[in-house]
Amino acid sequence: DFGLAKAVTSDAASGSATTSATMSLTASATQMGMVIGTAAYMAPEQARGTPVNQGTDVWAFGAVLYEMLTGARLFTGETVSDTLASVLRSELDWNQLPSDTPRSIKRLLRRCLERNRTERLQHIGDARLEVRDALKAPFENRTDAPAWPASRPRWALAGGVVGVVLVTLIIGLVGWRLFGSELVAPRAQFHLSIDLPESTRLPAGAGTTISISPDGQSLVYVGDGVDGRQLYVRRMDELRSAPIPGTNGALMPFFSPDGEWIGFYLPPGQILRVPVSGGEPFVVCDECEEGSWGEDGDIIFSRNGTLWRVPEVGGEREVLVAPMPERGVDAMLRPTIIPGGSAVLFEIGSGQFGGVGVFSTERQDLLVVTDDGADPFYSPTGHILFARRNILFAAPFDVDAFEVTGPVAPVLQGVRVENGGALQALVSPEGFLVYAPAGEVTGTRLVWAGRDGTMEAVLEDWRVFYQPRLSPNGEQLVGEVTEQGNRDLW
């Protein structure tokens, strides 16, 4: 925990020379002449028994970070004395760092592991800022990117997978970029754990349940728990998710362009907005469905297969574009405004991978991107991303020319896609993708609900059930079940 020890009573008789404490003491650890700590992570002044301060913890942080990046301890020895001697005198082997380690992280390590503590990084908070900046610009000053064969697709994943554990479901935050002519080798992985509140899970069959803020620093998701369904926000610089007051029953969240508000769909047919910090929700429109918030202050939403727009403050709505069956577009669902507002992406059909289209608000023209796909969104790399089954695909798209400029290519396999086609993935303007992986326990479960509030499972299977109905004699049950976009009666 990087806290300087004040007193210890321990045998320290077991454990390796590298990881065991150096001696047992019952005195102030900051007293001159006292040596206490784990040998491999002790700063030179600590190993000498001289007074220590917060700079000692900065050294320990550097030693841990080095070990995380290389997979090996920085200082080792057969005995405690040998390990301490290594701390005091051994040359640091910077060549062990992965070749794609960002320069800013290498610089941070050198500053943390400076033996002269007057030259060392003075505060651990400065280290956090360095790491944050490295994550914001993961490809800055990279000089080690190898040349890729020209025959390879003109896109590549870069950055690392961030596993985000949400009870029975894992959400991944992936640092990635798509490139038009230059390819970058994948970076080392990094991980972040995010826990849903106890007994809370992402609902299935409820449309897109996650959204990421424009700056990539906040994640909002729909959580089903013992207190019902509501929105939660997880800021990347905080340790816990927090419920957003005023969002009971919310579905399909989407951020305002400034990141201060969350819009959401409330069945059976309203779009509301609420401050991310919580507050009294404001009804934007009735008889509305999925929405997307534009920089011009309008919210574009779908209703009965048509795209509409309404001011963010509410008011008169108007049709943006109606279906064009003669162009192969019989319905428009799940709109997403491309940054700048010159075009709107949408899913074609009735929500079962009917295809992806884009409508130009400037040209008043429509383009079919693919006839096999669902729930599109836009990447700042200049690609339209969409789902085909549980695979994320990308199509390079020139917004100004209003044309697809290259072949469609797979980007990521194993992304969670609901049976109706809702894709559990979005990308921030910073280029960070948040997605829920497929293959986890999802769906709904049929239960008997007693008048006293007790519940008993009808069966243990989790599937996507809708509208269960009991027979008149109470001995049979029928319901709709959806699997891979196919609907049937169960």
Q: What residue ranges do the domains of the chain occupy?
A: 1-144, 161-435, 447-489
Question: What is the C-alpha to C-alpha distance for residues 305 and 309, in angstroms, rounded to an integer?
Answer: 13
* pLDDT in the model for residue 329: 93
Given the structure tokens 């609901």, which residue do they identify?
Answer: 418
Produce one character per residue of 69-92: b if its CB has 16 or more CB atoms within 10 Å, e if not.
Answer: bbeebbbebeebeebbebbeeeee
**121-137: per-residue pLDDT in tens?**
888 888 887 787 777 65
Element (H, E) at 455: strand 455-457
* Per-chain mean pLDDT for the chain: 77
> Is residue 248 predicted with pLDDT exceeding 50?
yes
* pLDDT in the model for residue 163: 30
The first and second tokens of residue 217, run together, are 């620093």
CA distances to 89, 223, 271, 307, 451 from 289, rounded to whole Å, are 66, 19, 7, 10, 33
For residue 7, the tally of other CB atoms under 10 A from its CB is 11
% of the chain at pLDDT higher than 90: 33
Residue 256, classed as helix, strand or coil, is coil
Find the mean pLDDT for residues 448-452. 79
CA atoms 266, 270, 276, 279: torsion sign? negative
Question: What is the C-alpha to C-alpha distance for residues 485 and 466, in angstroms, rounded to an integer?
Answer: 13
CA distances to 3, 10, 11, 94 from 42, rounded to whole Å, are 12, 18, 19, 19
Residue 103, classed as helix, strand or coil, is helix
Question: What is the C-alpha to C-alpha distance for residues 300 and 344, in angstroms, rounded to an integer?
Answer: 9
Q: Which pLDDT band holds residue 176 (cuts at 50, 70, 90)? A: very low
Which of the given ranges, 9-23, 142-156, 230-244, has the highest pLDDT on average?
230-244
Produce one character per residue of 316-326: b if its CB has 16 or more CB atoms within 10 Å, e if not.
Answer: ebeebbebeee
Residue 40: DSSP 8-state = G
Of 35 and 84, the one with more pLDDT? 84
Contact 215, 194 (CB under 8 A): no
Element (H, E) at 112: helix 103-112
The first and second tokens of residue 335, run together, are 């709109």
% of the chain at pLDDT higher than 70: 75
Query: Into which CATH architecture does domain 161-435 fall?
Result: 6 Propeller (2.120)
Q: Which pLDDT band holds residue 288 (cuts at 50, 70, 90)? A: very high
DSSP letters of 193-234?
--PPPTT-BPPSSSS--EEE-TTS-EEEEEEEETTEEEEEEE
Find the mean pLDDT for residues 364-372. 94
Residue 182 CB contacts under 8 Å (≥ 6 apart), including other chains: 145
Contact 201, 167 (CB under 8 A): yes
> Is residue 27 predicted with pLDDT exceeding 70?
no
> Is residue 190 predicted with pLDDT exceeding 80?
no
Domain 1-144, CATH number (from 1.10.510.10, 1.20.200.10, 3.10.20.810, 1.10.287.310)? 1.10.510.10
Of 168 and 261, the one with more pLDDT? 261
* pLDDT in the model for residue 195: 62
Q: Minimal CA–CA distance to 402: which of 426, 433, 369, 430? A: 369
State yes or no: cis peptide before 268, omega within 30 of 0: yes
**69-126: per-residue pLDDT in tens?**
988 888 888 787 788 888 888 888 888 898 878 888 888 998 899 988 888 888 888 8
